[in-house]
Amino acid sequence: MCGIIGIIGEKPVSRLIYHSLFAIQHRGQSSAGKLTYDGNIHVTKDAGLVRDVFNEEKKIDTPGNVGIGHTRYSTAGMDDTESLKKNAQPEYLVNPFLAVVHNGNIYNCLELNKKTKRKPRTDCDVQWPLLLMADKLYKQELTVDIIFKACEDIMHQLKGSFAALYLADSGDNPYLFAITDPHKIRPLVLGKSDGMYCLTSETRVFKKINFEYVRDIPGGAVVVIDKDGDIYEKQIIKKQELPCMFEYVYFAKPDSRINGRSVHKVRDEIGRILAREHPVEADIVIPVPESGRRYAIGYTQESNIPIDDGIMKDKDERSFIQQTQESRDKIVAEGLSFIRSVLEGKRVVLLDDSIVRGTNIRKLVRGLRNAGAKEVHVRIGCPPLIAPCYLGIDMRSKKEFIARDNDGNIKPWDAIVKEIDADSLGYISIEGLKKAIGSKICKGCIDFPDGYPSEMQNDVKKMFKNDKTGIRAYECV
């Protein structure tokens, strides 16, 4: 899971991309980068947050009326600082000139390695959309039709999820173009403003840079934008769209819309459904900041149990997408405070988006009890996570999930209740989640393997069988 941004038009785009990266920082905290182009390539990328990477004016303001940017959430390669720096995006080649940023996860990289003589220079799966495309465009005078043909060839070879943005030029006519996977698992939207056009992961970017939302890009599509603002679109592969349910549950910001559906309203409805599916006698509803707030609002509106802030968050970093368990623990330990005056003697309903490893929720329940809570009833806006995501969420191994025991069996809820020291636990049902989102979804991590697109199910079963603790199965030889 990453954040991507591409802008083309009549004016310099560097500062627009810079501001946009802050709007999609939540989608990736491993590294950040941007590339602008004016006949020369101007690129800055490094491990770290946007504010750390772009720490000088000369890195923020670079020439060019077209450019791409990226915030990376690592789902390939190692997690040490040097590896994160090496795998930062955008990635580019000079022969032919081609740059790319990618959101998603391509899981057949070992197979794709045999289809090109070009050698990847990083461990990131972005290399395959880059190298395969470079082969197709090499020694070509770029036209829209040539780009369409190259994209069609590549899209039929890639397995997994992808929303990729490219920047290419074979003279004085640069193109910004995009491809999306057939099931539109990762979001991509188009916006415009005064002769400028923007493709990005979330609609909230448009508010940040004063662009107008135009439309969502469909699955299996190619979109090409030239320097004059002419837009060409072709749907290469037509399949049922299955947006990732975790976009609605966790990743996207609540002020974004996915396929026209407000993320805020989806989370509010999830909270309401949770209150109906798992009612409880309690005195107060407490959200986990900020991930549980929208669920708590819906829960309190449906249950009429009052809501209050019993937990304060002191850090902006997201614990789930930290690279190591040590860093996740540190964020949780250092980032939260509990308000005794709100909690003491109360029967508390604690609302959060999901439970993966159980790192957060155990410490949260313990913190509530230490602050005087009489009872703690946990309610979760996502069904139990039971299998790795092979399509862009970094849940590496089936051994990671609190919902599975050491033998790989799915635990009964009462065992999880005991583990997290709660008085009760309620997850939203899969049917409840689908109802809240209002469309078909990719749900492979909560309904394995049937929740994956049908053509991927044999692949994911093989990867699940090949699962080794701490190693991403699609990276195993």
pLDDT level of residue 333 (50, 70, 90 thresholds):
low
Distance CA 133, CA 162 (A): 14
- The mean pLDDT of the chain is 93
In a domain, 364, yes or no: yes
211 and 266 within one domain: no
Of the residues 2, 109, 124, 442, which is catalytic?
A: 2
pLDDT level of residue 129 (50, 70, 90 thresholds):
very high
Q: Each residue of 245-285: pLDDT tens digit? A: 999 999 999 999 999 999 999 999 999 999 999 999 999 99
pLDDT level of residue 473 (50, 70, 90 thresholds):
low
How far are the Cα atoms of 37, 42, 96, 377 from residue 61, in angstroms, in the given order?
Answer: 12, 10, 25, 50
Q: State the average pLDDT over residues 132-155.
A: 96
287 and 226 within one domain: no
Check whether 66 has a pLDDT greater than 70: yes
Residue 204 lies in domain: 3-241
State the pTM of this model: 0.92
Q: Each residue of 348-361: pLDDT tens digit? A: 999 999 999 898 89
Q: Each residue of 362-413: pLDDT tens digit? A: 999 999 999 999 999 999 999 999 999 999 888 878 888 999 988 888 999 8
317 and 180 within one domain: no
Of 194, 216, 241, the last residue of a domain is 241
Domain count, the chain: 2
292 and 180 within one domain: no
pLDDT level of residue 326 (50, 70, 90 thresholds):
low
Would residue 124 show up in a list of annotated catalytic residues for this protein? no
Q: State the average pLDDT over residues 436-443.
A: 96
271 and 203 within one domain: no
- CB distance 223 to 355 below 8 Å: no
Q: State the average pLDDT over residues 58-84.
A: 91
What one-letter code names the amino acid at 364?
L
189 and 53 within one domain: yes
Q: CB neighbours (10 Å) of residue 212?
A: 11
256 and 122 within one domain: no
Of 241, 273, 295, the last residue of a domain is 241
Return the pLDDT at 477: 39
Check whether 347 has a pLDDT greater than 60: yes
In a domain, 246, yes or no: no
Q: State the average pLDDT over residues 23-35.
A: 96
- In which residue are the tokens 């609605």 written? 248
Q: State the average pLDDT over residues 300-306.
A: 98
- CB distance 122 to 73 below 8 Å: no
Q: Each residue of 91-103: pLDDT tens digit? A: 999 999 999 999 9
Distance CA 415, CA 336 (A): 26
Check whether 217 has a pLDDT greater than 80: yes
In a domain, 330, yes or no: yes
Identify the CATH number of the domain in which residue 294 sits. Answer: 3.40.50.2020
Return the pLDDT at 208: 97
What one-letter code names the amino acid at 201?
S
Spatial CA neighbour of 386 closest among 448, 464, 320, 457: 448
Return the pLDDT at 316: 60
294 and 275 within one domain: yes
Of 241, 273, 298, the last residue of a domain is 241
Spatial CA neighbour of 251 closest among 453, 393, 427: 393
Q: State the average pLDDT over residues 30-49.
A: 97
Return the pLDDT at 328: 47
Q: Each residue of 408-427: pLDDT tens digit? A: 889 998 999 999 999 999 99
214 and 292 within one domain: no
Q: State the average pLDDT over residues 224-239.
A: 96
Distance CA 140, CA 54 (A): 35
In a domain, 134, yes or no: yes
Q: Each residue of 3-22: pLDDT tens digit? A: 999 999 999 999 999 999 99
pLDDT level of residue 335 (50, 70, 90 thresholds):
confident
Tokens of 328: 């996740």
